[in-house]
């Protein structure tokens, strides 16, 4: 990954993970082709569900690199963003930072635009605290609430060791054994309903800071994580880190994904792209299809694309930190009308800063307003 991409991941990740831990108010956030295949690790005995108190709110933020070769950015469009109703099946978490801001600022002149074009959309829920003591209850709080509403939650586990390669979103579990235990506890909270899991943004595309042996070990844990999650909930759909169209070439990304188990239906439903980034949806569709073709595996494998901030594409100057002139993109939906593209999702909550228009991971009303208007 290029330097610019690394920096984006660093702060981008940091920027959205705030609500994923400390009751949703904590801080912290959200490689070369290998010749070795990851060693297959055995699945655990299904973990017992610990008796934990109800989880507090979880509000996330993403981590995505900015494009190495961004698409030329057109002049800021004056068109209004999509305003169609949010899909009935995607879950909107009630404890999102944007909702807190709206409730606290009834007279702010920006409120109506932010409320109607961002707050009304379902976004992903991030989990970045590597401590397993409350993770089961936190996941269960989201999945059970979604099940009650008859909706599909989007969950983002973000606790892989050496997260963000020591960048601004550094952190994660202390080692892979601890991570495996964390994933077991995470899976115990899934329940039996339909759920979408965006497994560890940056963990595959940004693995080049690791040695070959460390990469193989990480990929083994990721492959195991997919199997654990799908074994715990047969209706869970698990997607692996596909980077984005301005990062690794499709062939290289597919090779890394193959080592991480993304081509095996036992633990994977496909890939995700563009998390916390700005690449145009059309570019991501073409890129995702190339990666899937190179990855192989069954034709049932698909892709999901983060469209939260890509309405105007990537900035021409390669800016990654809250760049000006960006716009929210396609509204979240599970119906794309595109072959092998399973969903457009808002994985990065729009308005949560990368660190330039506010504190990384914290909702910035000025940034949200710029994206929405």
Residue with tokens 């560890």: 200
CB 302 within 8 A of CB 342: yes
> Cα separations (Å) of 356 from 20, 332, 366?
21, 26, 12
Tokens of 174: 């202390």
* Residue 354 annotated in active site: yes
Residue 193 exposure: Cα atoms within 13 Å on the Cβ side: 22
> Rounded to an integer, what distance in angstroms lies between the CA atom of residue 172 and that of residue 170?
7
Catalytic member of 28, 164, 258, 269: 164
- Active-site residue, selected from the candidate residues 202, 217, 342, 370: 202
Question: Is 342 part of the annotated catalytic residue set?
Answer: no
Provide the token pair at 324.
Answer: 């000006």
Structure tokens at 98: 């944007």
Return d(Cα 87, Cα 362) in angstroms, integer: 26
The active-site residue out of 129, 258, 322, 354 is 354
Residues with a catalytic annotation lie at 164, 202, 354
């Amino acid at each position: 990954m290029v330097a610019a991409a690394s920096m984006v991941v660093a702060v981008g990740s940091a920027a959205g993970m705030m609500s994923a831990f400390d009751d949703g108010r904590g801080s912290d956030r959200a490689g070369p082709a290998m010749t070795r295949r990851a060693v297959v690790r055995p699945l655990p005995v299904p973990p017992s569900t610990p008796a934990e108190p109800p989880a507090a709110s979880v509000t996330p933020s993403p981590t995505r690199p900015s494009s190495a070769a961004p698409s030329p950015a057109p002049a800021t469009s004056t068109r209004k963003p999509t305003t169609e109703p949010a899909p009935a099946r995607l879950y909107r978490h009630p404890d999102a930072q944007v909702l807190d801001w709206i409730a606290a600022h009834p007279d702010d002149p920006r409120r109506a635009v932010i409320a109607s074009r961002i707050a009304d959309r379902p976004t992903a829920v991030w989990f970045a605290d590597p401590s397993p003591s409350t993770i089961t209850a936190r996941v269960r709080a989201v999945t059970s609430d979604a099940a009650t509403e008859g909706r599909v939650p989007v969950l983002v586990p973000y606790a892989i060791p050496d997260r963000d390669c020591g960048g601004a979103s550094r952190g994660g579990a202390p080692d892979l054994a601890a991570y495996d235990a964390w994933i077991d506890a995470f899976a115990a909270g899934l329940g039996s309903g339909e759920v979408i899991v965006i497994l560890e943004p940056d963990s595959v595309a940004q693995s080049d800071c690791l040695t070959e042996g460390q990469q193989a070990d990480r990929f083994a844990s990721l492959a195991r994580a997919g199997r654990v999650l799908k074994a715990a909930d047969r209706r869970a759909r698990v997607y692996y880190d596909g980077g984005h169209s301005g990062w690794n070439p499709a062939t290289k990304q597919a090779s890394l994904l193959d080592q991480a188990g993304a081509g095996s239906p036992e633990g994977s439903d496909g890939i995700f792209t563009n998390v916390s980034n700005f690449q145009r949806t059309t570019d991501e569709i073409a890129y995702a299809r190339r990666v899937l073709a190179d990855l192989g595996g069954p034709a049932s494998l698909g892709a999901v694309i983060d469209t939260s901030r890509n309405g105007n594409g990537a900035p021409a100057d390669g800016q990654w930190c809250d760049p000006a002139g960006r716009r929210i993109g396609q509204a979240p939906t599970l119906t794309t009308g595109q072959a092998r593209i399973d969903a457009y999702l808002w994985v990065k909550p729009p308005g949560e800063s990368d660190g330039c228009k506010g504190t990384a991971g914290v909702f910035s009303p000025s940034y949200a307003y710029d994206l929405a208007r």
